[in-house]
Structure 1
Amino acid sequence: MSAAETSAAPATVLLYSHRPEVRDAVRTAVGRRPAADVGPITWLECSTGDEVVAAVDAGGVDLCILDGEAQPTGGLALTRQLEVEVADRPAVCVLIARQPDRWLAHWSRAEATLSLPVDPLVAPGAVADLLRAAAARSTVGR
């Protein structure tokens, strides 16, 4: 193992969807370690919007991956809610089913989007980029 692999801090990724098969697909596509320079991921799964808000309020979440198609509260609405209500919210990646919905993700202030079904060749890179940015923000904030 290289120094980068051993020194990368673990990350907590909150994964929200009311559908277990979507959560499974994201976890499988991203894996436990999306890049060698990104620490291992601990997945925190949520199936309701209230669970997401409570988990983010409790702290310790490095990244949120929210299903834009979730019911009854979609990931786009939750992203906007977190943007307004949480002073130092974690970065958010929204899962979208239609590319035209990217403007909604922009409106909600999501840092990134991933298309459904999740592409295992794209997802790890997007998650790794967001976790690197989160690590850089936390280093600057010290």
Structure 2
Amino acid sequence: MSRASSTADTPALQASVLVFSHRQDVRDAVRTAVGRRPAADVGPLTWIECSTGDEVIAAVDRGGIDLCILDGEAQPVGGLAVCRQLDEEVADRPTVCVLIARDADRWLAHWSRAEGTLPMPVDPLTAPGVVADLLREHARRPVVRR
């Protein structure tokens, strides 16, 4: 993703977004709610789908992912545990947003060190704004060299 803000003279922020859930319907719901262009200055998005925690780790290790949207209810390993693992093991990990089933689970997302949350079911009126804000924030982060 371009690490520069979009202005009238620059193109929109392109990004790769990973969505993780063991359930295809959850992955589909996230992609549908967010869309390919969540804001005028953000997009188009390239979607990467993962159905296991190991797939998420491998994809992040390959690089090029700007945002991970992780299902906190995924089985057998949930998105909260995957987020915590990424935070512990990846020096310049992507920004992470966790899907939570209950508002009371926000503290778990904070514990896992996720930068954002989206409640389930995913609301197509609010999800694009949350994703766009997280991607803008990610673009402003300094790049960490390994």
Equivalent residue in structure 2 for 1:68, among 64, 68, 72 = 72
Residue 141 of structure 1: how far off its partner (Å)? 3.4
Q: 1:3 to 1:88 in 2, by over 3 A?
A: closer
1:81 is paired with a residue of what secondary structure? helix
Residue 4 of structure 1: how far off its partner (Å)? 4.5
Q: Is the 8 A contact 2:60 2:93 kept in 1?
A: yes
Deviations 1:84-140 (A, max 9, x none): 000010100000001111100000000000000000011000000011111112xx4
1:44 is paired with a residue of what secondary structure? strand
Residue 39 of structure 1: how far off its partner (Å)? 2.2
Alignment partners' CA distance in 2, 1:61 and 1:4: 25
2:17 is paired with a residue of what secondary structure? strand
Alignment partner, residue 46 of structure 1: 50
> CA RMSD of the aligned region, Å?
1.7
Structure 1 runs, 4 residues or longer, greater than 6 Å off = none
Alignment partner, residue 18 of structure 2: 14
Aligned ranges 1:91-110 → 2 under 5 Å:
91-110=95-114
Give TM-score, length-normalised by structure 2. Answer: 0.90
The unaligned stretches of length 5 or more in structure 2 are 1-5
Higher helix share: 1
Q: 1:48 to 1:99 in 2, by over 3 A?
A: same
Aligned ranges 1:1-142 → 2 under 5 Å:
4=8, 7-137=11-141, 140-141=142-143
Task: Give, as a single letter, the amino acid of the residue that structure 1 aligns with 2:101.
Answer: A
The unaligned stretches of length 5 or more in structure 1 are none
Q: Is the 8 A contact 1:4 1:37 kept in 2?
A: no
Q: Count how many residue pairs are aligned between Structure 1 and Structure 2.
A: 139
Alignment partners' CA distance in 2, 1:9 and 1:82: 24
